[in-house]
């Protein structure tokens, strides 16, 4: 069966070219619609970025593509609402889009559960105040953060300029021996091209924002997608597509 079309609502511009890269690897249609707001990693700005009006607009932009599922491709703009708020956010998005919906934060939880990962290290680009909200979000889902690092980068635009070498350095410097997996949030960071190298270097599963976002969309859409070692452990086994 051909992979379905999955639509992504992406804030501003930073690392959206991860999506056509994944589309080429997977043989899927992964259209991206952009919504706009300040790209500050600050709580009031993030709450505005993930507001119902902005996500409604994103769903409207994607509608001509007739997606089988829609994902809000933003980690901080979803976990900042808290666990229940994030669920309410995607419930409203689903009602607007008329198809299953999710967000990057919820995708991290679904991916960790699919891989039976319960202890993680988090290498975050955000300021500490924002990163700690992600820790709380994960804890609510039964995922223990054994190590948290915050790079303190204020804007998504700056994160988008990180080189592969800088992404590798962030990962290697912030892994923890007790973690079953390393989580790297922030869809503004280019990670797909270096995923196999990251996993080989740290010797464990690495879950990144754009990776889990794409996986979640395909899972929700129910597509029979071929395994893709180039996209990391999460995409290496068909049985990670739980609940289809």
Residues 203-224 pLDDT 10s: 999 999 999 999 999 999 986 5
Q: What is the pLDDT of residue 181?
A: 97
Q: What is the pLDDT of residue 15?
A: 93
Distances (CA, A) of 193 to 64, 74, 200, 205, 217: 29, 19, 13, 15, 19
d(CA 56, CA 72): 11
Q: Which residues of the chain have pLDDT under 50?
A: 242-244
Q: What is the pLDDT of residue 43?
A: 87
d(CA 73, CA 208): 12
Q: What is the pLDDT of residue 225?
A: 52
CATH 3.40.50.12500 residue ranges for the chain: 6-107+210-228, 115-208
Q: What is the pLDDT of residue 205?
A: 96
Residue of 82, 123, 122 whose CA lies nearest to 106? 82
Q: What is the pLDDT of residue 244?
A: 35
Q: Looking at the structure, give the CATH architecture of the domain made up of residues 6-107+210-228.
A: 3-Layer(aba) Sandwich (3.40)
- Digit-coded pLDDT (tens) for 6-54: 999 999 999 999 999 999 999 899 999 999 987 778 888 888 889 999 9
Extract the tokens encoding 139.
Answer: 């804890």
CATH class of 115-208: alpha beta
Q: What is the pLDDT of residue 243?
A: 40
């Amino acid at each position: 069966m051909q992979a379905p079309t999955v639509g992504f609502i992406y804030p501003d511009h930073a690392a959206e070219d991860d999506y056509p890269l994944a589309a080429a690897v997977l043989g899927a249609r992964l259209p991206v619609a952009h919504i706009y707001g300040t790209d500050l990693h600050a709580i009031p700005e993030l709450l505005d970025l993930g507001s119902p009006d902005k996500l409604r607009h994103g769903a409207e932009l994607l509608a001509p593509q007739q997606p089988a599922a829609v994902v809000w491709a933003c980690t901080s703009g979803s976990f900042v609402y808290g666990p229940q708020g994030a669920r309410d956010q995607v419930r409203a998005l689903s009602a607007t889009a008329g198809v299953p919906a999710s967000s990057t934060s919820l995708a991290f939880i679904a991916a960790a559960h699919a891989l039976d990962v319960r202890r993680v290290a988090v290498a975050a680009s955000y300021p500490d105040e924002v990163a700690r909200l992600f820790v709380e979000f994960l804890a609510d889902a039964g995922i223990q953060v054994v190590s948290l690092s915050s790079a303190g980068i204020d804007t998504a635009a700056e994160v988008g300029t990180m080189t592969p070498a800088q992404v590798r350095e962030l990962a290697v410097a912030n892994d923890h021996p007790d973690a079953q997996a390393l989580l790297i949030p922030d869809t503004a960071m280019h990670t797909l091209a270096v995923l196999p190298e990251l996993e080989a270097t740290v010797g464990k599963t690495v879950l990144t924002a754009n990776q889990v976002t794409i996986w979640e969309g395909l899972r929700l859409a129910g597509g029979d997608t071929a395994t893709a070692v180039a996209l990391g452990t999460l995409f290496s086994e068909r049985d990670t597509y739980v609940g289809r």
